[in-house]
Amino acid sequence: MTADRLATRISPLLELLYPEEHAEACRGVVALAEQYADLLRRRHLALPTHRTACLITYGEGIRRHGETPLHTLAAFLHEQVGDVISDVHLLPMFPWTSDDGFAVVDHRVVNPDLGTWDDVGRLAEDYALMFDFVANHTSSSSPWFTGWLARQPGRDGFYLERDPDFDVSRVTRPRTTPLFHPFDRPDGSTAWAWTTFGEDQVDVDVRNPATLLELTDVLLGYLARGASAIRLDAIGFLWKESGTTCLHLPQTHAVIKLWRAVVEHVAPGARLLTETNVPHEENISYFGDGSDEAHLVYQFALPPLVLHSFVSGSSARLTGWASGVGPVSRTATWFNFLASHDGIGLRATEGILDDHERAALVDRTRAHGGGVSMAVRPDGTRTVYELNLSYLDALCTPEEARDAGIVAAKALAAHSILCAFLGIPAIYYHSLVGSAPDHEGMATSRINRRINRAMLDADRLLDELRLDGRRRAVFDGMRHLLDVRRRHEAFSPYGTQQVVSLDDRVVALRRAAGTPDELFCVANVTGQSLTLPTVHGRDVLTGRAVEPLTLGPWGYAWVRPSTTP
99 counts as catalytic:
no
Q: Report angle CA 466, 471, 477 to the nearest 5 degrees.
A: 95
Do residues 95 and 141 lie in contact, with contact meaning Cβ atoms separated by under 8 Å?
no
Tell me the C-alpha to C-alpha distance, in Å, between residue 273 and each of 162, 177, 286. 31, 27, 9
**E strand or H helix at 194:** strand 190-194
Q: Is 109 helix (H, G, I), strand (E, B) or coil?
A: coil
- Rounded Cα distance between 131 and 92, Å, is 7
Are 209 and 239 contacting, i.e. CB atoms less than 8 angstroms apart? no
227-232 and 271-274 beta bridge pairing: parallel
Q: What stretch of H or E contains 260? A: helix 250-266
- How many whole angstroms separate alpha carbon 178 and alpha carbon 245? 16
Pairing status of strand 54-57 against strand 87-90: parallel
CA–CA separation, 382 and 346 (whole Å): 13
3-class SS of residue 53: coil
d(CA 561, CA 519): 7
Q: Which one is catalytic: 99, 203, 233, 292?
A: 233
68 Cβ contact list (under 8 Å, min separation 6): 114, 115, 116, 119
One-letter amino acid for residue 148 of the chain:
W
Nearest CA to 434 among 460, 458, 407?
407
HEC per residue, 359-416: HHHHHHHHHCCCEEEEEECCCCCEEEEEEECCHHHHCCCCCHHHCHHHHHHHHHHHHH
The residues that are catalytic are 233
